[in-house]
Chain A
Amino acid sequence: MTPTAAEVLMGNFMALVEPPPQESVGDYMSSRISVIGMNSLLASQEVEMGAAVRVWENEAMSALLAKAGAPLAASTDDLSISALDALNAKLRLALIAVHEAVEAKGDVALDREILTLYQAMADKRMLVLPVMPGS
């Protein structure tokens, strides 16, 4: 989940602002600009969904932790990406610890629930590149 969209957009600027050495123009620069374009496209998706996905993920992890007897609140008044990420990191660490305990205990039902949550987390965070035909 790193880097953030803000970091990528700043990076795109940094990647373009310095003039390349003479030997790096041509194919290399074309490819580099193409990747910068892809990153900008992905950033547009992340800007649109980033906060909503983090709020959902934090609430989903919090609910599962409560069910596992290790409650950790997901609420925050600060809906900036950095604040949501800081909370997300705490919840993810707690979830890792709970998952380890669940595996050690052999709690198949809760293990399955956690793995299902992982699938949903991965699904919701997916970024999509447009179809680019091979040459």
Chain B
Amino acid sequence: MSLADQLSAYLGRLWGRPVQVLDLTRIPGGASRETYRFDVDVDGERKGLILRRDPVGSLIDTDRRLEFLAYQSFYGRGVPAPEPVALEMAETELERPFFIMGRIDGGKAASPFTVDPYAAHAAAIGEQFFSILGAIAKADPVGLPISDVAEMPDLAACWSKELDYWAKVIETDQLHPQPIVWAAIRRLRRNPPPPAQKISVVHGDYRTGNFLHDGEGKIIAILDWEMAHLGDPMEDLGWAIDPLWGHFDPDKVGGMMARAEALAIWEQASGLKVDDKALDWWSLFNAVKGQAIWTSSAREYRDSGGKDPVLALSGWYTARRHDKIIADRLATLEGWA
């Protein structure tokens, strides 16, 4: 039975009506989920949907239930998140767990490896990008669906929980000793950040390339919540402004606007203050987290026989860029670079 037939049968059982899946097409959507776009015809009515299925091998090991609950937490609440439709954890339907969400048409995502992707709309997109991130930071996670599953850390323990997790990933997956990232991990442990100002939903991968814009300066969807969790909102901010996502323009964070301007917009939208010491810590942490993801990517690439070129690019090119970012940041933090 084809994937389209399996999907038709599943949705038919779920909705109690005959469903025809049309135009099922896989689309590029990173290496952490297989992503497909398709239409459904139900009683003559057509609707666009997205299927996100666990891959055989992945760049990161993430919980699709948390991702689904993150969409549930923000859909229709002022953050442009797609509509969550169905979550299936069993492997009997489509061989691997998956979820289905509404499709938002008419948008495009920038590749992080291009220059000036937003052109004349950069400032307008930056304004929305950091405002939306501020809104996510401002939201009280208590009562949101994601809190049913996500662990609620103590304010003072957000940093150690995340650092321990990602350091373990590197320890487990590294194929070759990495002195630069281990120097950063030791420094982060020696110099912890101040406690979080509040616990927020952390998107986990909030950056250029993970949202859709309409080409006219409007953000229409925030995507890729697969690393969502609860924690310090500074974590997302540090990731969003990481130089890796700067589109090769050192003067603009995310290829959008000056760093100071971005932080001011985030402060205004979140009602929180950017503490320099905290942001320094979370910025270095995020480069470590990135390196952990690329380390897993390289491991998975080798273990799976090299069939996914995205894993190679991540585990190689981006890993080396993050090594450079970390080495330069370590020198800067020591105050002599």
- Taking Cβ atoms with an 8 Å cutoff, the residues of B that contact A are 2-4, 24-28, 36, 108, 110-111, 113-119, 175-180, 182-183, 186, 190, 247-248, 255, 298, 301-302, 305-310, 312-313, 315-317, 319-321, 323-324, 326-328, 330-331, 334, 336-337
Total count of chain A residues near the partner, CB < 8 A? 55
CB < 8 Å: which of A7, A96, A126, A135 contacts B306?
Answer: A7
Interface of chain A residues 84 through 135 with chain B (CB within 8 A): 85, 88-89, 92-93, 95-96, 99-100, 103, 111-112, 114-116, 118-119, 121-123, 125-127, 129, 131-135
Q: Which residues of B contact A96 (CB under 8 A)?
A: 177, 179, 182
B312 x A3 contact (CB < 8 A): yes
CB < 8 Å: which of A95, A116, A133 contacts B115?
Answer: A133
Tell whether A134 pairs with B119 under 8 Å between CB atoms, given A15-B306, A39-B313.
Answer: yes
Q: How far is the CB of A13 from chain B (nearest CB, A)?
A: 8
Q: How far is the CB of B72 from chain A (nearest CB, A)?
A: 27
Q: How far is the CA of A26 from the CA of B298 in the complex (A)?
A: 26
Q: How far is the CB of B315 from chain A (nearest CB, A)?
A: 6
Interface of chain A residues 22 through 48 with chain B (CB within 8 A): 22-28, 31-32, 35-36, 38-39, 42
B312 x A39 contact (CB < 8 A): yes
CB < 8 Å: which of A10, A119, A129, A133 contacts B317?
Answer: A129
Q: Which residues of A contact B334 (CB under 8 A)?
A: 111-112, 115
Nearest 10 pairs of A and B residues by beta carbon: A134-B117, A11-B306, A31-B28, A92-B177, A134-B114, A28-B26, A122-B324, A35-B309, A122-B327, A118-B327
Tell whether A119 pairs with B307 under 8 Å between CB atoms, given A31-B28, A92-B179.
Answer: no
Q: Which residues of A contact B114 (CB under 8 A)?
A: 132-135
A80 at the interface (CB under 8 A from B): no
Q: How far is the CB of B301 from chain A (nearest CB, A)?
A: 6
A8 at the interface (CB under 8 A from B): yes
CB < 8 Å: which of B177, B179, B316, B319 contacts A118?
Answer: B179
Interface of chain A residues 1 through 21 with chain B (CB within 8 A): 1-3, 7-8, 10-12, 14-15, 18, 21
